[in-house]
Chains A and B, each alone.
Chain A
Amino acid sequence: MDGLKLDMNWLDYSILAIYFVVVLGIGFAAKRSIKTSLDFFLSGRSLPAWVTGLAFIAANLGAIEILGMAANGAQFGIATAHFYWIGAVPAMVFLGIVMMPFYYGSKVRSVPDYLRMRFDNRSHLFNALTFAVASVLIAGVNLYALAIVIELLLGWPLWVAILVSAAIVLSYITLGGLSSAIYNEVLQFFLILAGLVPLVIVGLAANGGWDGVMDKVKGNENGGEGFLSAWGGTGVGDVTNPMGANWIAIVLGLGFVLSFGYWTTNFAEVQRALSAKNMSAARRTPIIAAYPKVFIPALTIIPGLIALIEFPKLGAKSGDFQYNNAIPLLMDKYLPNGVLGIAVTALLAAFMAGMAANVSSFNTVFTYDIWQDYIKKDRPDEYYLRVGRVVTVVGVFIGIGTAFIAAGYSNIMLYIQALFSIFNAPLFATFIIGMFWKRMTSAAGIAGLIAGTVGAAFIFVTSESGVDSFGFDEPLLFTFGSGLSASFWGAVVAFVADAVVSVVVTLMTVPKPEAELKGLVYGSEVDYGEVNAGDKVWWRSPILLGAGALTLSAAFYIPFL
């Protein structure tokens, strides 16, 4: 199965080697700035908005996202843009404008920490544990996916690929903490651009430009008109679009619950905003990130479409022509040595960004929310700094272990991804109600979370047993195949279960006194901190920036209605 192995030469490998050296160098350099545990876990809350904004988007731009979205582009066409334009962007804007004042103003150190202050230890521990387990599992899944790609493209044995990548990420995070992770994410973001933009340019040039590609997609037997329309064929009861979802499922399931659930409560993302230097920067972080997010489909969906028209065999269940290999296939075809090295470096950079985000959020939650809050309280700060470093090492080793387990089951990655995307939905329900309804009680907090999580698990389990609209039996690595619409609905159901239980239990129990909710809920006094004159300019207004991002996103739909 040597077909896809890339033709890398010494030039490409040198480019890669230079990158590894730089990444480690950043880790060493960042180490010098670390004196307190806050420095290690939250960069001392001192980073400028452009840095945290780019880190915010890079943390999500892992290789699973890139390869997976290209695969989706090849499989579903332009409708894939829903993940970005109605999914990610509104959620990111909402996080920045509406929720960040509560997150940042309350000085919580993590997402679970917010639950501890808003409710009580039960919700706190529940969320901390699920998040910690999820992070480590997903890190392992990322590692495994990375190793597969390295094995495919470079010919390295699986275990070598896993260990080398893990070693590098482990080193720079243990040394430099969150600052190192974030600085590397910013670098990784630009490298990803440098790797994918040439690929898109050459791919377009080879196929007659954008118009040429559109014509070819229309004429392609696996494509067709529907591939160029985002909303066509989404009428309720008249579903003919490639995704198999009607507009309600898309707007509510993907647009609202799934994406808001991820972007507003996933600590790997929120952590980047919490490390910002002040409230204005924190609020602008996800909004600044939304702008590149609007354009990223050009780097993932277009290659997907090009791969569709270039490789008639694309869409095989296994082997070289799986959907996931869309971008690697194009790299192999079009990139000469030189830019090829940059593109491979970019892919590896993307993997590292994703994994680093998992590891850095895991070590924060484990050290602060589990270890410090429940196991060894009241030690001096240096103790927790050391614990943080140890936890990072242990976490990565567990991730390596999970990666090797995942290697034994081809479907496990798919299941884990789906599992946690649905688990985010209940958390979002609890947050939304908790942040905006003062009356919501601590008992409702834990009850809602449990109800939603159980609901999500139930849906997931019944989908396994072959309920008709769920189709997870294909051994695809990253895409959901025909189960896409199902996962949208699954998230909605989990959200509703959590919400209903939260409201019912609230009405039966007693809330905390209002004084304890200061800065945590809508209607209480939020601490905005000192506002710099420099931040009052119109182009630093979160509301204006947010409106701009939303408008841009909506405008991009117009050519593809």
Chain B
Amino acid sequence: MSEQDDRSAAARLFDIRRIIGGLFVLYGVILFVAGLVDGADAKEQAADIDINVWTGLAMMAFGFFFLGWMWLRPLEAPEREDGTGDDDDAGDAGRTT
């Protein structure tokens, strides 16, 4: 359980933002299209709001935000041999909060 092993998982773990972004864009498109083609009944049920269309758009926007975030600030590169990849300032690129 050395320090190196402590750090190793980070480099191998994928970026969850890709999945969240991708899934929300997919769902967003599905809902948006569903909202465009569903009948007046659907709108009436939802207190006269075309809820599928709006939720679809919101989810798409959210998904693109995540993908954009990932693109602008990718995860830092895999750690160097001595296992200190996480600890220097240059590695800050991937840290966003």
- A contacts, CB < 8 Å to B: 11, 14-15, 18-19, 22, 25-26, 29-30, 32-36, 38-39, 43-51, 53, 179, 183, 186-187, 190, 194, 197-198, 201-203, 205-206, 277-278, 284, 288, 333-339, 342, 381, 530, 532-534, 540
Select from chain A the residue with minimum beta-carbon distance to B50.
Answer: A336
Measured CB to CB, the residues of B under 8 A from A are 1, 5-10, 12-14, 16, 19-20, 23-24, 26-27, 30-31, 34-35, 38, 41-43, 45-49, 51-52, 54-56, 58-59, 62, 86-87, 89, 92, 94-97
For A33, list chain B residues within 8 Å (CB): 9, 12-14
| Given A44-B6, A48-B97, A190-B24: A198 in contact with B13 (beta carbons within 8 A) | no
The answer to whether B27 touches A46, judged by C-beta atoms less than 8 angstroms apart, is no
Pairwise interchain contact A22-B1, C-beta atoms closer than 8 A: no
Q: What is the chain A residue whose CB lies nearest that of B9?
A: A44
Contacts A38-B6, A533-B89; is A205 near B27 (CB within 8 Å)? Answer: no
Query: Helix, strand, loop or mixed for chain A's interface?
Result: helix
Give chain B residues whose Cβ lies under 8 Å from the Cβ of A288.
97
Complex contact A277–B52 (CB within 8 A): no
B10 touches A46 (CB 8 A): yes
Write 29 A-B pairs (CB below 8 A) sorted by A numbering: A18-B23, A18-B27, A19-B23, A29-B14, A33-B14, A39-B8, A39-B9, A43-B9, A44-B8, A44-B10, A47-B13, A48-B94, A48-B97, A187-B16, A194-B24, A194-B62, A198-B51, A201-B51, A202-B49, A203-B47, A205-B47, A277-B10, A288-B97, A336-B52, A338-B42, A338-B52, A339-B55, A532-B89, A533-B89
Q: Are A30 and B20 closer than 8 Å at their CB atoms?
A: no
Query: Given the complex of chains A and B, what is the CA–CA distance between A25 and B14 in angstroms?
Result: 12
Pairwise interchain contact B27-A194, C-beta atoms closer than 8 A:
yes
Most buried by A among B9, B13, B45: B9
Contact A336/B5 with A190-B62, A342-B55, A530-B87 known, Cβ cut-off 8 Å = no
Closest chain B CB from A345 CB (angstroms): 9
Q: Are B38 and A338 in contact (CB under 8 A)?
A: yes
Kindly provide the distance from the CB of A442 to the nearest chain B CB, expressed in whole angstroms.
25
Q: Which A residues touch B9, using CB under 8 A?
A: 33-36, 38-39, 43-44, 46, 179
B54–chain A nearest beta-carbon distance, Å: 8
Give complex CA distance A25, B97 in Å: 26
